[in-house]
Amino acid sequence: MTLKERDKKHLWHPLTQHQLHPESVAIVKAEGCTLYDEDGNTYIDAIASWYTCMYGHCNPYITKKVAEQMQTLDQVVFSSLTHEPAIKLSEALIEILPNNQQKIFFSDNGSTSVEVGIKMALQYHFNRGEKRNVLIAFEDGFHGDTFGAMSVSGLSVYNGPFEDFFIEVKRIPTPNGTNHDNILAQLNAISKTNAV
C-alpha cells in the first residue's frame, strides 16, 4: 500500500478541502528547497513549507545541533521550569532588539503566537479594570487557524463555519504607500468608538 493510500485511511489535513483535493502528495525526503515524493518526482518547495524559508529543509548545521541537544535535554515543559538553551536564546535576542524590550515570550507556532499576543492585550486591559473586547486587524491577512488567529484573519474561505464564534474585529486596509491618511483616520474613528 502506498503512503497516499495509507494516508487516506486515517488522516485529515489542515487547511485542506478533502472533497476537492482527496489525494495528498506523499513526501519522503526534503533537502534545501526541494521535496521528493514516493513516486520519484521532485518539487521546488516555493512556500518553504511555511517554516523553512531561511535555511531550507534538513540544513546540516541545524540537524547536527538538534541531534546534539537531544542527547542532553529533548524537551521540558516551560511552565515554571527553564533551561540554558532558552536562556541563551533570550539573551541573544535581547541584544538585537530595540532597547525598550526586556522580556521574551516563546511560543511554538504562528497561530499560537497570535493567540498569545491577543491574550496579552486583553489581559493588560483586564488587569487595569478596563473591558476591551474589540481588536483591529488588517484586511485579508492570514494569521493561523486557532480561534483568535482566525478572528483577526480576513480569509473567510478558511474561517466561514466559525465566524459566529470570533472575537470582534474592526478591519483596516493594508498600508500600500498611498492610503496612510485614510488608515489613520479609520484608526482614530475606531479608537474613539471603542474607548472605555
Q: How confident is the model over 100-127, as pLDDT tens digits?
A: 999 999 998 888 999 999 999 999 999 9
* Bridge partners, 48 (sequence order): none
pTM for the full predicted model: 0.75
d(CA 41, CA 48): 17
Q: How confident is the model over 156-170, as pLDDT tens digits?
A: 677 778 888 888 999
- Tell me: pLDDT of 71 over 90: yes
Q: Which residue has the higher pLDDT, 12 or 196?
A: 12
Average pLDDT over residues 181-193: 91
Domain ranges of the chain: 3-71, 73-106, 110-191
pLDDT score of 116 = 94
d(CA 87, CA 151): 32
pLDDT score of 195 = 63
Per CATH, the number for 3-71 is 3.90.1150.10
d(CA 168, CA 137): 10
C-alpha cell read off for 58: 534538513
- Tell me: pLDDT of 6 over 60: yes
Q: How confident is the model over 31-65, as pLDDT tens digits?
A: 999 999 999 999 999 988 877 778 899 999 999 99
Assign 14 a pLDDT band (cuts: 50, 70, 90): confident
Assign 28 a pLDDT band (cuts: 50, 70, 90): very high
Beta strand pairing call for 34-37 and 168-172:
unpaired
Average pLDDT over residues 72-93: 94
- Tell me: pLDDT of 196 over 60: no
Pseudo-torsion of CA 193, 190, 148, 7, nearest 10°? 140
d(CA 116, CA 3): 36
